[in-house]
């Protein structure tokens, strides 16, 4: 594995070993010195063409915990605003010695383009490309589900677990990566949302639901993954009003009470409180939203370690 571009790049055994590795990495947080020396002398560039708080900080922290040097690049305030292309920007950064490029871009397929066009030799990690994929988010969601629902998580997959993904499936890279990765791990996945935002072409094994109430009673999920309504990716109106969305597809205390007793709620953040999830559900004991954030650092440490340590595979 040279790059991480899509959740589909990973086999089941690779995913399980990444999750196990991330589990080991999470112990670093409890140590006196929260740092490992493995990536000393390597340079990781966070190349972010889209706004992001948690993904960028999470990658930055992960790289720093592994002793790599980190450069944060945001398109705003850089030469990109003067019209520099992705190719020139990436080549410039590599000429300065970047070993890995973590790319967040609004265009689907940009990470694949960067990795396969011969522009750069460095490792490319997809940190979200348009409405295509966000593989490290799916990995951290899988890790959170595994640690919340399985007693001895090490070495285990997610077979038998039922995951409901709710919201804007069409525009969501989080949904796409999760569908691929969670199903590879053996989970049964269903989608739920307004008919305008749930593509029929994706046919998850658990089915498609158009009402959250029906999905909860008929699908009986162990995990409900609420997606963010992404106003920046919506050119048309896909649902009448925010109030209606929240009434039919939003997570609230009443629906929370109808879930199985051990069921958990995830949200990739940032949350629109009051729209797809209300404040009391977001802060409830079923919510694993903060676990997702801390697992994100461990997952990204595992990914960086896996891709940057060890001998270079001869091409």
Partner 1 sequence: MSKRTVLSSDDIRRAITRIAHEILEQNRGTEDLLLLGIPTRGIQIATRIAEVIKEHSGSEVSVGSIDVTMYRDDLAEQPTRTVGVTNIPKTGVGGKTVVLVDDVLFSGRTIRAALDALNDHGRPSAVRLAVLVDRGHRQLPIRADYVGKNLPTALSERISVRLSEVDGIDEVVIED
> Which spans of this chain sit near partner 1 (rule: CB under 8 A)?
17, 21, 24, 27, 31-33, 35-38, 305-306, 309-311
Q: Is 33 or 236 the residue whose CB approaches partner 1 more closely?
A: 33
Identify which of residues 8 and 154 has a Cβ nearer to partner 1 in the complex. Answer: 154
Q: What's the closest the beta carbon of residue 202 comes to partner 1, in angstroms?
A: 33
> 20 or 94, CB closer to partner 1?
20
- Cβ 154 to partner 1, closest distance in Å? 9
Instruction: Give the nearer residue to partner 1 in terms of CB position, either 33 or 315.
Output: 33
CA distance 265 to 288: 6
Between 37 and 83, whose beta carbon lies closer to partner 1?
37
DSSP per residue, the chain = ---B--GGG--HHHHHHHHHHHHHHHGGGGSSS----TTTT-EEEEEESS--SHHHHHHHHHHHHTT-EEEEEESTTSGGGGT--HHHHHHHHHHTT-SEEEEEESSTTHHHHHHHSSS--SEEEEEEETTTB-HHHHHHHHHHHHHHH-SS-TT---TT-EEEEES--TT-HHHHHHHHHHHHTT-EEEEES-TTTS-SS---TT-EES-HHHHHHHH--SEEEEPP--GGG-SS--SS-HHHHHHHH-B-HHHHHTS-TT-EEE--S---BTTTB-HHHHTSTTB-HHHHHHHHHHHHHHHHHHHHSSPPPP-
∠ at Cα 179 (243, 242), nearest 5°?
5
Q: How far is the CB of 1 from partner 1 (least distance, A)?
A: 9
**Nearest residue (CB) to partner 1, 27 versus 235:** 27
Residue among 32 and 262 whose Cβ is closer to partner 1: 32
In the complex, least distance from residue 34 CB atom to partner 1, rounded to whole angstroms? 9
Q: How far is the CB of 136 from partner 1 (least distance, A)?
A: 18
Give least dist CB 91 to partner 1, A. Answer: 24
The distance of closest approach from Cβ of residue 35 to partner 1 in the complex, given in angstroms and rounded to an integer, is 7
């Amino acid at each position: 594995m040279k790059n991480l571009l899509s959740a589909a790049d990973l086999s089941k055994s690779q995913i399980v070993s990444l999750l196990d590795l991330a589990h080991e990495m999470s112990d670093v947080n409890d140590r006196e010195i929260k740092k490992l020396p493995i990536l000393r002398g390597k340079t990781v560039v966070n190349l972010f063409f889209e706004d992001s708080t948690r993904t960028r900080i999470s990658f930055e922290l992960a790289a720093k915990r592994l002793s790599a040097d980190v450069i944060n690049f945001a398109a705003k305030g850089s030469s990109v605003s003067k019209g520099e292309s992705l190719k020139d920007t990436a080549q410039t950064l590599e000429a300065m010695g970047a070993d890995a490029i973590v790319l967040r871009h609004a265009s689907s397929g940009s990470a694949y383009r960067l990795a396969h066009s011969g522009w750069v030799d460095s490792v490319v990690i997809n940190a979200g490309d348009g409405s295509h994929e966000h593989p490290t988010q799916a990995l951290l969601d899988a890790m959170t589900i595994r640690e919340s629902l399985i007693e001895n998580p090490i070495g285990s997959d997610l077979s038998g677990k039922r995951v409901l993904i709710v919201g804007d499936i069409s525009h969501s890279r989080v949904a796409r990566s999760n569908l691929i990765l969670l199903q590879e791990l053996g989970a049964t996945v269903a989608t739920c949302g307004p008919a305008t935002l749930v593509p029929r072409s994706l046919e998850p094994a658990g089915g498609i639901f158009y009402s959250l109430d029906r999905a909860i009673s008929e699908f009986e999920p162990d995990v409900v993954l609420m997606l963010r309504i992404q106003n920046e990716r919506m050119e048309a109106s896909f649902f009448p009003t925010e109030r209606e969305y929240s009434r039919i597809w939003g997570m609230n205390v009443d629906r929370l009470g109808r879930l199985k007793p051990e069921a958990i709620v995830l949200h990739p953040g940032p949350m629109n409180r009051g729209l797809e999830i209300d404040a009391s559900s977001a802060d409830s004991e079923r919510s694993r939203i903060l676990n997702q954030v801390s697992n994100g650092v461990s997952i990204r440490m595992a990914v960086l370690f896996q891709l940057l340590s060890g001998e270079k595979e001869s091409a």
